[in-house]
Structure 1
Amino acid sequence: MAPWLQPITLEGELVKLVPMLAEHRDALVSAASDGKLWELWYTSVPSADTIDTYMGIAFSEQKADRALPFAIIDKKTNTVVGSTRYLNADAQHRRVEIGATWYAERVQRTGVNTECKYLLLKHAFEVLDCIAVEFKTHFHNFPSRNAILRLGAKQEGILRNHRIDEKGVIRDTVLFSILDSEWKAVKTSLEFKMMRGKSNS
């Protein structure tokens, strides 16, 4: 049987999400270096030291049909500015999580995140026929929590003592979701934000 998550390119006006490939390695490190994103203790962003492990996990999860990792291309400069992926995919129950998302500092607080999430949600609900899309983030990652709420996701709860990181710090994880019944309103809201952002630029 064919994998549920087929590699696909998702394209908007600002960005293009392309399937992550081994040859994106150096460009991903370069993007993460803009702001030294790996220094944020509550996120998992690759550095030159961890990129091979990071990509290896993404590719093995993809092979198991549990994930589909993307490199994010800024269409204006045709450069890699970050990464995102579908993960924890459950084909039987038509659920998927959007996560492992990070952006070079220079494109943060621009319209890039809104468009990326719009493209991923649209594909999840309208092509993969998902009944729910999840988002998870570290309790202390308040910028991410606020960004997820602005998308129109609803907080479901907090998974206490959910993970132990490599330094032994125990993480509480905040869980959000968007249901298929909510997609129409979320889509309308995101399209309005993107249109308004265009007229202000």
Structure 2
Amino acid sequence: MPITLENNRVKLSPLTLDNYSHLITIGSEPNLVQYSPSKVDTPKDLKAYVETALEWQDNNTAIPFIVFDKAVNAYAGTSRYMNISWHHSVLEIGATWIGRKFQGTDLNMNMKFLMLQHAFETLNFDKVEFRVDERNMASRKAVEKIGGILEGILRKNVLLTDGFKRNTCCYGILNEEWKGLKTTIFKGF
């Protein structure tokens, strides 16, 4: 099941216990995953995070990637397909975090293009979802920028590591919307 997605800007390779150490410095950046229910700021926490992702992969419900930024020749972070429902043909793109120096570049757009293209055109999924902490306006705007439609807000449904119960914004993109997004938002990718 592990796959590699790549274009001129970014390479998404399988995240493994052999390569996750490239993310230790990035994961230790202060407040990098402040809206996430996961901890990645110590090598031990990061390893546990990767082990969980790999368990989900073994259960056929996730495909985790390590992100390599080809423009600066450096590892940048991670993302994954998760909460995969093969029966319902729906998956979520999530657990995405990239280091601060990579934020605000076109790296994330390239990542999402490759992941959406693969989900819709190779895996033939009907829907891709994104779930974002209601307070995380940067991530919400990023999902809206790629065509994600806000479908609703789940109230107090995720417990964060600091004890806060977050509200989660649920966004979606349908397969029938993908062709239009590909020729407008992702034109030239």
TM bin (shorter chain): over 0.9
- Structure number having the greater helix percentage: 1
Identify which range, 104-113 or 183-192, moves more after superposition: 183-192
Measured after TM superposition, the shift of residue 45 of structure 1 is 5.6
Q: Deviations over 1:67-93 (max 9, x none)?
A: 000000111343211100000000011
Contact 2:8 2:70 in 1 (8 A): yes
Counterparts of residues 42-53 of structure 1 (less than 5 Å)? 42-43=35-36, 44=38, 46-48=40-42, 49-53=44-48
Matched residue SS, 2:170? strand
Tell me how large the CA RMSD over aligned residues is. Answer: 1.5
Structure 2 counterpart of 1:109: 104
* Structure 1 unaligned residues grouped into runs of 5+: 1-5, 196-201
Identity of aligned pairs, percent? 36
Identify which range, 52-61 or 118-127, moves more after superposition: 52-61
Q: Deviations over 1:157-183 (max 9, x none)?
A: 000011122332111000000001100
User: Distance between the aligned counterparts of 1:144 and 1:119, measured in 2?
Assistant: 18
Contact 1:161 1:170 in 2 (8 A): yes
Identify which range, 24-33 or 12-21, moves more after superposition: 24-33
* Structure 2 unaligned residues grouped into runs of 5+: none
Identify which range, 22-31 or 132-141, moves more after superposition: 22-31
Residue type of the partner of 1:41?
Answer: Q
1:36 aligns with 2:10: no
Residue type of the partner of 2:60?
Answer: D
* TM-score, length-scaled by structure 2: 0.93
Contact 1:114 1:190 in 2 (8 A): no
Counterparts of residues 1-201 of structure 1 (less than 5 Å)? 6-33=1-28, 35-38=29-32, 40-43=33-36, 44=38, 46-48=40-42, 49-192=44-187
Matched residue SS, 1:126? helix
* TM-score, length-scaled by structure 1: 0.88
Measured after TM superposition, the shift of residue 189 of structure 1 is 2.3
